[in-house]
Amino acid sequence: MNEGAMGMSADAKKVALITGANKGIGLETARQLGKLGITVLVGARDAAKGEAAVATLKKEGIDARAVKIDVDKPADYAAVAKLIEKDFGKLDILINNAGVFLDERVASKASKTSQELLRKTFDTNFFAVIELTQTLLPLLEKSPAGRIVNLSSILGSSTLHATPGSPIYASKNLAYDTSKSALNAFTVHLAYELKDTKIKVNAAHPGWVKTDMGGEGAMMEIEDGAKTSVELATIGADGPNGGFIHMGQSLPW
Query: pTM above 0.85?
Result: yes
- In this predicted structure, what is the pLDDT of residue 10? 47
Which residue of the set 77, 176, 200, 227 is catalytic? 176
Encode pLDDT of 67-108 as tens digits: 999 999 999 999 999 999 999 999 999 999 999 999 886 667
180 catalytic? Reply is yes
Confidence of residue 224 (pLDDT cuts 50, 70, 90): confident
- In this predicted structure, what is the pLDDT of residue 140? 98
Q: Which residues contact 85 (CB under 8 A, 6 or more apart)?
A: 139
CATH topology assigned to domain 3-250? Rossmann fold (3.40.50)
Q: Nearest-CA neighbor of 75 among 120, 116, 119, 45?
A: 45
Q: Which residues contact 20 (CB under 8 A, 6 or more apart)?
A: 26, 43, 44, 45, 71, 97, 98, 99
Higher per-residue pLDDT: 48 or 211: 48
Confidence of residue 6 (pLDDT cuts 50, 70, 90): very low
β-pair type (249-250, 244-246): antiparallel
Encode pLDDT of 136-186 as tens digits: 999 999 999 999 999 999 999 999 999 999 999 988 999 999 999 999 999
How many Cα atoms sit within 13 Å of 116 on the Cβ side?
Answer: 0
Task: Indicate if the pLDDT at residue 249 is higher than 70.
Answer: yes
Confidence of residue 205 (pLDDT cuts 50, 70, 90): very high
CA angle 200, 237, 10 (to 5 degrees): 85
Helix (H, G, I), strand (E, B) or coil at 117: helix
Encode pLDDT of 11-65 as tens digits: 579 999 999 999 999 999 999 999 999 999 999 999 999 999 999 999 999 999 9
User: Domain residues of the chain, as ranges?
Assistant: 3-250
Mean pLDDT of the chain: 91
DSSP secondary structure letter of residue 168: T
**What is d(CA 133, CA 215) in angstroms, rounded to the nearest whole number?**
28
Cα-to-chain-centroid distance, residue 109: 28
Task: Indicate if the pLDDT at residue 220 is higher than 90.
Answer: no
CB 125 within 8 A of CB 72: no
Encode pLDDT of 108-137 as tens digits: 789 999 999 999 999 999 999 999 999 999
Q: Nearest-CA neighbor of 197 among 136, 243, 140, 150?
A: 140
Alpha-carbon torsion (10, 11, 12, 16), positive or negative: positive
176 catalytic? Reply is yes
Which stretches of 48-138 are assigned E, i.e. beta strand? 64-68, 93-96
Which residue of the set 14, 68, 77, 180 is catalytic? 180
pLDDT above 90 coverage of the chain, percent? 83
CB 29 within 8 A of CB 97: yes
Confidence of residue 9 (pLDDT cuts 50, 70, 90): very low
Confidence of residue 198 (pLDDT cuts 50, 70, 90): very high
Q: Provide the residue type at 60 as one letter.
A: E
- In this predicted structure, what is the pLDDT of residue 104? 80
- In this predicted structure, what is the pLDDT of residue 5? 41
